[in-house]
Chain A
């Protein structure tokens, strides 16, 4: 994978995903309150935070499933804030949604075929998915609803990869899965990302996020509390930013404008 093991971030070229001063409401609730960040090609950008911090809302807004109250989402330099999710998907934003969301009445292979239905040109084919996840071929005609949680998550990842996206949004891969399964799924990531795919992931499980990410961004109640590379932030800083402990000093790596 790309991303420096420590130190400076390669802020070169056009950011692939750029979120600018994003405010999103759920009814009366201000779920996101002025979030800004940029994800550069090849990065594994992790959004961490506790339950209700706004992580999933952020990812869903980037995918187009939520409309922001204000602010904008840019994809490869183009404003996509007004585009429907299917249009964004066809331009190269793929998402593995929270809770897998496989098509339960479709077989494993049919789920993958739907993933490939509007695919861009690229390296991923159903054959390659079967080569990467070798158990899947033998069970391709099984109903997706019959798979275990971990298997479903893998099929959901395969379905998203088949779009040959430029950026892959991963929403809470670990949710509802046994730790050993989570380990295995995160263990597969480097292999999946070999093609230089950019990843924006949301994770409650901080240790997993720190292990795979080239950059982390911590949210607390809809606001940015910490941003930096895993090497540049201390465990204490992460803990303070995650739980919002009193007296937590903003990290030196925190971006300008993250706090009012």
Chain B
């Protein structure tokens, strides 16, 4: 029964990893930006949520109504300024710039908020409560996060396939110049894509703050790594691949933890390495496009 339990918990936490991964995948798929500050931005979103809740006394669960737009605007502005500036030079420059951004954010958070860990909504029944099926205890929160992840992916899929800006994002990702010839300002379209990606980052950060604890270093030592692993396992550029990748990663970690609690993280990265070695295009490959 403990193995079944491990698999169920792994699948559910995969939803959280998908929330981390889909924004990373979108930014790479559209702009070819590997955003090394992705995890730190999720942490920033979590801290913003804590601040917003403290100051406005808005119910914890509604904090996303403020945090998501704030992060989306930040995404647009960052893309139009320093990220575009780096892109105009070279793809490598974007790596350097996002790495720098990551360092600055992390140290800024340490400076202003100390290294203490913080949780979001720690007293809520949703966060602490659980229900049981037979002998298996399932927390409300992992289920809620998984559902949110699925809703976010469905929303992203609808946005990309059925809306004007979604179509422009895919067109620009295919061929910037041809899109310009059709009148599309690709810089603006990139900004929109970054805004959407940062919106998902915000949800990921809030979810993680409720699921675990946030500290200034959580972004690089946990969120970014898991996001990368989920993207690579699922297949770069594939939307639903991020969910599959997250689920595979989550299940591997939980099974590893069953064997020995200290093997949890290791097991996840062994699967990550195995996929890289045996199926580098990921479990769901998106055709010949790389």
Q: What residues make up the interface of A, taking CB atoms closer than 8 Å to B?
A: 63-65, 84-86, 89-90, 94-95, 97, 101-106, 110-111, 113-115, 117-119, 159-160, 163
Contact = CB atoms under 8 A, between A and B. Distances in A.
Contacts of A117: 164, 167-168, 182-184
Most chain A beta-carbon contacts within 10 A, residue among B164, B167, B174, B183: B183
A140 to B, nearest CB: 14
Nearest to A100: B178
Contacts of A114: 167-168, 171, 179, 182, 184
A18 B289 CA distance: 40
A163 to B, nearest CB: 6
Nearest to B186: A86
Interface in B165-209: 167-168, 170-171, 173-175, 177-186
Contact of B184 (A86, A102, A104): A86
Interface residues of B, number: 19
Interface of B: 164, 167-168, 170-171, 173-175, 177-186, 289
B246 to A, nearest CB: 23
A106 B167 contact: yes
Contacts of B185: 84, 86
A118 B174 CA distance: 18
Interface of B, helix, strand, loop or mixed by DSSP: helix
B184 A103 contact: no
A86 B178 contact: no
A97 B178 contact: yes
A90 B174 contact: no
Contacts of B289: 104-105
A97 B183 CA distance: 14
A123 to B, nearest CB: 18
A110 B178 CA distance: 14
Contacts of B170: 103, 105-106, 110
Given A103-B170, A103-B171, A105-B170, A118 B182 contact: yes
A85 B181 contact: yes
Contacts of A113: 164, 167
Contacts of A85: 177, 180-181
Given A103-B170, A103-B174, A65 B180 contact: yes
Contacts of A86: 180-181, 183-186
Most chain B beta-carbon contacts within 10 A, residue among A106, A114, A117: A114
Contacts of B180: 64-65, 84-86, 89
A89 B185 CA distance: 10
14 contacts: A64-B180, A65-B177, A86-B185, A89-B182, A97-B177, A103-B175, A104-B174, A105-B289, A114-B179, A117-B168, A118-B182, A118-B183, A119-B183, A163-B182
Nearest to A113: B167
Contacts of A63: 181
A159 B184 CA distance: 13
Contacts of B177: 65, 85, 97, 101
A84 B184 CA distance: 10
A219 to B, nearest CB: 22
Nearest to B161: A110
A163 B184 CA distance: 11
B284 to A, nearest CB: 15
A163 B181 CA distance: 10
B286 to A, nearest CB: 8
Nearest to A159: B182
Contacts of A105: 170, 173-174, 289
Nearest to B164: A117
Nearest to A169: B181
Most chain A beta-carbon contacts within 10 A, residue among B179, B180, B184: B180
A102 B182 CA distance: 11
Contacts of A159: 182
